[in-house]
Amino acid sequence: MPEPKLPTDVGPLNPRLREWMRQHVEQAARARSQVSVTFPEADTDVRVRHRLPGLPTGYRMIRSDSAGSVYDGSRAGDRHYLYLRSNTAGITVTIEVS
């Protein structure tokens, strides 16, 4: 993901406002959410709440209680949820959403 940049054509800004904007842009760029999810059935969509401030750009499995893979579900993610599937029934994983 490209590094967000502050707009340069906003004219003179109060230094405190410029710093506030810089911090919030950096915070949004680093936004990540970790969530544990159990897949009761193999190859079936599971709705996962991600708690990011906007649309997710990706995810990765960072922990698993058994062998298996996690992959995209049949629906695209939105501002609140990801839709994921696993090839293993009963697997519990921790996902990092960014």
Distance, in Å, from the CA atom of 5 to the CA atom of 56, rounded to the nearest integer, reads: 19
Count how many residues are written for the chain: 98
Residue 28: per-residue pLDDT: 64
**pTM exceeds 0.75 for this model:** no
Q: Are 77 and 50 in contact (CB under 8 A)?
A: yes
> pLDDT tens digits, residue range 4-21?
565 555 556 678 887 887
Residue 53: per-residue pLDDT: 81
Residue 15: per-residue pLDDT: 83
Distance, in Å, from the CA atom of 18 to the CA atom of 26, rounded to the nearest integer, reads: 12
Distance, in Å, from the CA atom of 47 to the CA atom of 49, rounded to the nearest integer, reads: 7
> pLDDT tens digits, residue range 52-95?
888 888 999 999 999 999 999 999 999 999 999 999 999 999 99
Token pair for 83:
């839709």
